Amino acid sequence: MKPAPPASPQSAGTPYPLVLDTLHGRVAPGRLVASPTGHVLASTVALPDAPAGPLTRFGLAVAEATPESAFGEGPAADRFAVALLTAHRELLDATLTHTLRHLEGRTSGSTTLLAKQLVAGQLADIALRLAEDTAVPEARRHAGRDARWRSHLRLVDIGRDLLRLLGASGFLADGPAGDLHLAEVVGNVYLHADTEDADE
Amino acid sequence: MNELREAAAPAGTDLLDERSRELADHCAAMAGRLRAIGMRLDQDPDVITEFLHEPEVRFPVQGMLPPEYRSVGEFPARLVEASSTVLGQVVATEQVSYGDPNVLLASPGPSLSGGAVQALADEQQRKRYFGRLTSSPTHTFFALTEPGKGSAATELETTLTPAPGGGWLLNGVKCYIGNGARAQLGVVFCRRAPGPWGIEAVLLDTSAPGFSGELLPSVGLRGARISRLRFQDVTVADEDVLGAQRSPSRRGLYGATYILYRFRPGIAAMAIGCAQAACDYLVTHRPTLPRRDRHRLDSVLDRIAAVRHRTYAVARDIDAGVVDVAGIGAVKARAARVAEDATRLVAELLGPACLIEHPWVEKTYRDVRAFDLMEGTTNLHAMSVFQRLLRDRAAPQPVTERAVDGAARH
């Protein structure tokens, strides 16, 4: 399979739904990529006629796939899955920078929270885990659906730990928490390694 | 509507007496209706006004009111009385939250501010506060947290200064205050003088000039309606300073800590209720799991049972006058974490696109993340646990100083 497009569409803080639209456009120009389950997730701008749902206020629309969709399996879907993980990783990287700045501006007693040993250790651990995920060799990281799902779960872990460090501001929909929630939902739809077969 | 859950009493409830179990059953029967209302609140938290007449919405608030202000004849008095203790509040809150925690948080009523009034106010202040709550549906708030300092009560910067013509002026900003922007009445913690005993709690009518509230968009738990509040030269009358007749060490800061310790197990109970509900939802929708996945679910259920048992224990101790600060923080932190882990596991085991196809799961997945940051983050409580660990097992002095220095507040 082809490696992920080296996109960094959210470097300037682009809202995640618009990042998602960019990924759709790069992987399947003029079309939207459907998940293996037959869903299409894109911004409310790209899917203006999609029914309103709980994610609409985050700017994300959900629609059923149509014959025009780039459908759920094959090279386009693989490239899209890889690009989703790249975008998630970049979002986490930006959130890490945001968290460092945020904690530098918060004080407890006479010091910033950033100077607290507990906080510093957690931030360092997060940075290491993020770097580690990036360092997983391509052939292994994108070996298949299971590998991509493992990577997604690692990224979700990192994101949750980062948001905890942001305290209550890590729960605001118009900050990193909103975008990271969408990345988690999109991963659940496009990247999930189906375990249904294991029911036997 | 008990079809949401298994018939047997949840594991970890062995500390409950017969009356508490009856209370739990009473609240458990509300779960289905509360879940339906909770889904509506996630779309629009202000629709709570459509449901204020419903017993499922009215009952949970009753135990938070002093006996003379409770609804007479509407609910079994023994159950209302049972729900007025800390353990009773925990039992009721867990079951109500199994249905949906947003309903409780969105409802008018005393919230934490009622606890502050009960703890600090003189008789006239109590009458004014609770009289207003019972005369018409009234939302209230408890304003402690500030943008730069979090919920560190000793460091708050909102000021209370003497007004030129008598009384006081309130100035400052509070952040992440539940129901703040839609409340009619609240309690604001502020600084009158330097030091821990210079903190006061004042009653505030939100129609006062200089008060403004702004809703903050939260990822989940939207019923809480977290808000940013601004006070610009808001006039506070002498009679609105809570507990002015008390010594400084028995009012502002004392009131804040007293209330937080008493209500914190309730946050744990919300998290436990949501975690159990998520696991039961999975079992209902995917009754046959592969052995490996069943082990993962059972592991989460073990943790839920353990934190439930410990939450009941600290609540029972508070009722007995024993306040284990580290233990209270620990159950809140651990319950929040297991709720997050439970919803993540359920989202994984329900399969691809379940966060789209199961809207309640997606909502709960968002909601439970609030419990980590409500009333102190996990890091803050972890430091409290660590300090007790040192006190119990190590030479205290030098290391304790390091622990204090390393404490984090969010």
Which of B176, B372, B407 is opposite residue A164, by nearest beta carbon? Answer: B372
The pLDDT of residue B406 is above 70 = no
Instruction: Answer whether residue A147 is part of any domain.
Output: yes
Work out the percent of chain B whose per-residue pLDDT is above 90.
Answer: 77
Residue B396 has a pLDDT of 53
Q: Domains plus CATH for chain B? A: 2-114 (no CATH), 118-250 (2.40.110.10), 261-406 (1.20.140.10)
Q: What is the CA radius of gyration of chain A?
A: 18
Instruction: Answer whether residue A79 is part of any domain.
Output: yes
> Residue A139: exposed, middle, or buried by beta-carbon count in 10 A (0-12, 13-18, 19+)?
exposed
Chain B environment of A36 (Cβ under 8 Å): 352
Using CA atoms, how far apart are residues B4 and B1, in angstroms rounded to an integer?
Answer: 7
Using CA atoms, how far apart are residues B56 and B178, in angstroms rounded to an integer?
Answer: 21
The pLDDT of residue A7 is above 60 = no
Residue A198 has a pLDDT of 46
- The label of the residue with tokens 């994610």 reads A55
Please give the residue range of the domain that contains residue A131. 16-194
The answer to whether the CB atoms of B353 and A177 lie below 8 A apart is no
Most B CBs within 10 A among A55, A84, A108, hence the mutation to make, goes to A108
The pLDDT of residue B40 is above 90 = yes
Instruction: Answer whether residue A5 is part of any domain.
Output: no
The answer to whether the CB atoms of B363 and A54 lie below 8 A apart is yes
Instruction: Answer whether residue A11 is part of any domain.
Output: no
The answer to whether the CB atoms of A181 and B176 lie below 8 A apart is no
ipTM: 0.91
Per-residue pLDDT band for B393 (boundaries 50, 70, 90) equals confident
- The label of the residue with tokens 């200064």 reads B161
Using CA atoms, how far apart are residues B35 and B281, in angstroms rounded to an integer?
Answer: 12
Q: What is the mean pLDDT of residues A148-172?
A: 96
A114 CA to chain B: closest CA distance, Å?
Answer: 9
Judged by average pLDDT, the poorest of A109-118, B9-18, B62-71, B276-285 is B9-18
A183 CA to chain B: closest CA distance, Å?
Answer: 12
The pLDDT of residue B360 is above 60 = yes
User: Judging by DSSP bridges, how do beta strands A107-108 and B159-162 pair with one another?
Assistant: unpaired
Using CA atoms, how far apart are residues A30 and B55, in angstroms rounded to an integer?
Answer: 53
Q: How many helices (H) and strands (E) does chain A have?
A: 6, 4
- Look up residue B266 and give its two tokens: 């309730």
The answer to whether the CB atoms of A37 and B175 lie below 8 A apart is no
Chain B environment of A108 (Cβ under 8 Å): 149-150, 152, 155, 407-409
The residues with which B169 forms a beta bridge, in sequence order, are: B161, B235
Digit-coded pLDDT (tens) for B191-247: 999 988 899 999 999 999 999 999 999 999 999 999 999 999 999 999 999 988 888
**Whose CA is closest to A92, among A141, A165, A3?**
A165
Using CA atoms, how far apart are residues B34 and A121, in angstroms rounded to an integer?
Answer: 41
Instruction: Answer whether residue A7 is part of any domain.
Output: no
The answer to whether the CB atoms of A54 and B355 lie below 8 A apart is no
Per-residue pLDDT band for B392 (boundaries 50, 70, 90) equals confident
Which of A116, A172, A198 is opposite residue B216, by nearest beta carbon? Answer: A172
Instruction: Answer whether residue A1 is part of any domain.
Output: no
pLDDT averaged over chain B?
Answer: 91
A34 CA to chain B: closest CA distance, Å?
Answer: 12
The answer to whether the CB atoms of A181 and B219 lie below 8 A apart is yes
Instruction: Answer whether residue A10 is part of any domain.
Output: no
**Residue numbers of A between 77 and 96 with CB closer than 8 Å to B:** none
The pLDDT of residue A8 is above 80 = no
Using CA atoms, how far apart are residues B159 and B343, in angstroms rounded to an integer?
Answer: 41
The DSSP letter of residue B85 is S
Chain A environment of B409 (Cβ under 8 Å): 108, 113
Q: What is the domain-level CATH number for residue A147?
A: 1.20.140.10
Using CA atoms, how far apart are residues B186 and B203, in angstroms rounded to an integer?
Answer: 6
Digit-coded pLDDT (tens) for A13-56: 789 999 999 999 999 899 999 999 999 999 999 999 999 999 99
The pLDDT of residue A199 is above 50 = no
Domains held by chain A: number: 1
The answer to whether the CB atoms of A188 and B347 lie below 8 A apart is yes
Q: pTM for the full model?
A: 0.92
The pLDDT of residue B340 is above 80 = yes
- For residues A103 and A95, the answer to whether their CB atoms sit within 8 Å is no
The DSSP letter of residue B200 is E
The pLDDT of residue B405 is above 50 = no
- Look up residue B359 and give its two tokens: 């809207």
Most B CBs within 10 A among A39, A57, A99, A164, hence the mutation to make, goes to A164
Instruction: Answer whether residue A9 is part of any domain.
Output: no
